[in-house]
Amino acid sequence: MGTAMSKLTSKTAIITGGASGIGLAIASLFAREGAAVEILDRDVEEMNRAVQGISAAGGTAAAEICDVTDAAAVDAVVARIHARRGRIHILINNAGIAHVGNALTTTPEDFERVQRVNVFGAANCLRSTLKYMAAEGGGAIVNLASVVAVMGIPDRFAYATSKGAVLAMTYAVAKDFLDKGVRCNALLPGRVHTPFVDGFIAKNYPGREAEMFEKLSKTQPIGRMGAPGEIAAAALFLCSDDAAFITGTGLPVDGGTITIR
* Catalytic residue ranges: 159
- CB-CB contact of 80 with 63 (8 Å): no
Beta strand pairing call for 182-189 and 250-253: parallel
**Cα–Cα distance for residue pair 16/228, rounded to 1 Å:** 15
Q: Is 59 strand, coil or helix?
A: coil
Backbone angles phi, psi at 251, to 5 degrees: -95, 115
Q: What is the CB-side half-sphere exposure of residue 126 using CA atoms within 13 A? A: 26
Terminal Cα distance for the chain, rounded? 40
